[in-house]
Amino acid sequence: MNNPIGIFDSGIGGISILDKLKDMLPNENYIYLADNLNCPYGNKSKDEITCLSIKNCEKLVELNCKIIIVACNTATTNSIEKMRKSISIPIVGIEPGLKPAIYYTKTKNIGVLATGKTLSSKLFFETLNSNKNENIVIHEQIGYQLVDMIEKTSYTNEDIYEILKSYLSPMINKNIDCLVLGCTHYHYLKSIIKDIIPNNVFIIDTITPVVNHVLNILKQKKILNNTYGEKYIRVSYNGNILSKKYISKSYKLSYLDF
83-to-123, 188, 217 alpha-carbon distances in Å: 14, 27, 17
Compute, in degrees rounded to 10, the torsion defined by CA atoms 226, 31, 127, 138: 120
Residues whose CB is less than 8 angstroms from the CB of residue 80 and which lie 6 or more positions away in sequence, other chains included: 70, 91, 93, 123
Active site includes 178? Answer: no
- The residue annotated as part of the active site, out of 39, 57, 178, 183, is 183
Give the C-alpha separation, 101 to 98, whole Å.
5
Active site includes 72? Answer: yes
Residues whose CB is less than 8 angstroms from the CB of residue 111 and which lie 6 or more positions away in sequence, other chains included: 139, 141, 168, 171, 172, 174, 176, 178, 179, 180, 201
Q: 216: closest CA among 53, 20, 67, 27?
A: 67
- The residue annotated as part of the active site, out of 39, 57, 72, 178, is 72
Give the C-alpha separation, 113 to 167, whole Å.
8
Q: Which amino acid is at 36?
A: N
Residues whose CB is less than 8 angstroms from the CB of residue 208 and which lie 6 or more positions away in sequence, other chains included: 20
Count of Cβ atoms closer than 10 Å to residue 228 Cβ: 7
| Diameter over CA atoms, the chain | 54
- The set of catalytic residues is 72, 183
